[in-house]
Amino acid sequence: MCWAASLNGEHYTGKIVGDDINGKYQRYEVQHALSAKEALSLNKKDEGRGMFGNMYKPGDMSDKFWTEQQLYRAAIRVYRQYFPDAIALITGSFCIADPQYVLDGPLVFKKKTNKLRDELLAIGGYEGNDDRANEIFNEYRKLLKTLDRL
């Protein structure tokens, strides 16, 4: 999953990328239906920017989430709908080899990977403890190889 962020950003957004059941590379924006409160909030913010005041209506689809947890729940729904044969939903970039936060997948893999990720962050990554970071990387590589058996 790819995450977007901006300076002074007020929302979380996400995209899920990967191969679908036909082996075709796809990307999906994670969206949800706006509540009345969310639509009102967005309209008020846009009025302050000189934009039209009633652009957003309850039920409109939006890629803006107020919390990471809202985004994560919606991301899992999108992942399960469009990638039913996938093994795991992992946050971050697919080109990063270090452990990243697992949102969905085999429970053993999810727990062990998230524990490795937390430890990597706690030691300050490679800059904090290069030797331990390399050990964590190697543990994660071994864990990835077990996915087919989980």
- 10-residue mean pLDDT profile of the chain (150 residues): values are 54 88 88 93 70 79 92 94 90 81 94 96 96 96 83
Q: Is residue 149 part of a domain?
A: yes
Q: Is 103 inside any structural domain?
A: yes
Global confidence as pTM: 0.79
Question: What range does the domain containing 146 cover?
Answer: 95-150
Asked whether residue 126 is domain-assigned, the answer is yes
Residue 109 confidence (pLDDT)? 94
How is residue 148 written in tokens?
A: 């087919």
Evaluate whether 71 touches 38 at the Cβ level (below 8 Å). Answer: no
User: Residue 116: CB partners within 8 Å, gap ≥ 6?
Assistant: 99, 136, 139, 140, 143
The pLDDT of residue 118:
97
Q: Is residue 109 part of a domain?
A: yes
Q: What is the pLDDT of residue 9?
A: 63
Q: Confirm whether 106 is domain-assigned.
A: yes
129/125 Cα distance (integer angstroms): 6
Pick the closest to residue 54 from 43, 64, 62 (CA basis): 43
What is the C-alpha to C-alpha distance for residues 122 and 26, in angstroms, rounded to an integer? Answer: 34
Please report, as a single letter, which amino acid is at residue 110. K
- 58 falls within a domain: no
Count of structural domains within the chain: 1
pLDDT at 22: 83
Phi-psi region of 92 (alpha: psi -120 to 50; beta: other; left: phi over 0): left
Q: According to the model, what pLDDT value does residue 2 have? A: 47
Residue 130 lies in a domain: yes
Strand partners, 19: 25
Residue 134 lies in a domain: yes
